[in-house]
Amino acid sequence: MSNLDRQATPSVCGGRGFVVAEPVRELLAPRRVQLGESTEVRRLLPNLGRRMVGAWAFVDHYGPDDIADEPGMQVPPHPHMGLQTVSWLHDGEVLHRDSLGSLQTVRPRELGLMTSGRAISHSEESPKEHARFLHGAQLWVALPDAHRHVEPHFQHHVDLPVVTAPGLSATVILGELDGAASPGTAYTPIVGADLSLTGGAETRLPLDPDFEYAVLSMSGEAEVDGVPVLPGSMLYLGCGRTELPLRAVSDAGLMLLGGEPFEEELVMFWNFIARSGEEIAQARNDWEKGSRFGEVRGYDGARLSAPPLPTTPLKPRGRVR
């Protein structure tokens, strides 16, 4: 998915300064963002209160939307740099095309993992024949400096490891959870997991005390460390935890996001993650003149143009504002 915010402003984040070293329970409210004509998403990261969780730098939750009589998701070709995109669905399907020639339908509980490295472009759309409901999350992972210029690549994994406990089924999307590792390529110590809880379940999830964590609610009624988290909200949990108490009032779907706090300061603008305003300006310029990011073939429509760069210089603001 693309950041379609026309008033895109650059932001600087990363660094250990604002990582909470001990367990906390900090509820992050979503910001509603309109994507195209028919899709509204709830943006959890970056958030007024927090910009990153580990290397997770962008989290949108969308749906469930009834798109039976609608085109559904229609995100025209757009570029990425310095990040990975993770497509994760609970309902429906997304057709991914990219400048490497990938053409892949991603279905519920399959991992669509695109590593932009130095440059890639892609489009995402609901196929013409699609399921009635569309429900999912779109996430970005910041690449560390040592790997941010890697060759772009796209991975699709349908067979992800699952960790189970009574009332809990946890699919490991990225990184490692309780000894089970995702086949998706990760460049920093990280975890992303889909937690499916049955109503009435009470369980504890093993965590790494060196990681910081957050839990996004996708559906149902659940309590995370005693805090009710409604669908479309995210609870930031800080570091220093060895386990996480979970309780499901009804059947519930959650996403656990965590990782080693991201040490490097980085600059985010539109669909780019860089280390300086100059790099951002160069990438924007390259996309606008049609170089470096390749070409997406087969998408029925025009590609996105980049929003204007702001006239004000970048101001480092850290991991929280």
Beta carbon nearer to Mn ion, 153 or 223: 153
Contact between 2 and Mn ion per CB under 5 A:
yes
Give the residue from 214, 275, 212, 233 showing the smallest Cα distance to 81. 275
Tell me, letter by letter, the H, E, C secondary structure of 61-95.
EEEEEECCCCCCCEEEEEEEECEEEEEEEEECCEE
**Residue 196 to residues 162, 220, 224, 257: CA-CA distances in angstroms?**
10, 10, 13, 14
Stretch that binds Mn ion, among 2-10, 56-64, 153-161, 298-306 (CB under 5 A): 2-10
Element (H, E) at 277: helix 277-288
Least separation, in Å, of the C-beta of 78 and Mn ion? 6
Q: What is the distance between the alpha carbons of residues 150 and 196, in angstroms, rounded to a whole number?
A: 34
Contact between 39 and Mn ion per CB under 5 A:
no
Stretch that binds Mn ion, among 1-9, 64-72, 160-168, 213-221 (CB under 5 A): 1-9
Confirm whether residue 122 is marked as ligand binding: yes
Contact between 171 and Mn ion per CB under 5 A:
no
Decide the pairing of beta strands 190-197 and 103-106. Answer: unpaired
Least separation, in Å, of the C-beta of 74 and Mn ion? 13
Which residue sits closest to Mn ion, CB atoms considered?
A: 2
Give the residue from 94, 97, 116, 115 showing the smallest Cα distance to 105. 94
Beta carbon nearer to Mn ion, 1 or 45: 1
Least separation, in Å, of the C-beta of 75 and Mn ion? 7
Beta carbon nearer to Mn ion, 59 or 320: 59
Confirm whether residue 124 is marked as ligand binding: yes
List, as residue ranges, the binding site for Fe cation.
78, 80, 122, 124
Q: State the residues that interact with Mn ion by CB under 5 A.
A: 1-2
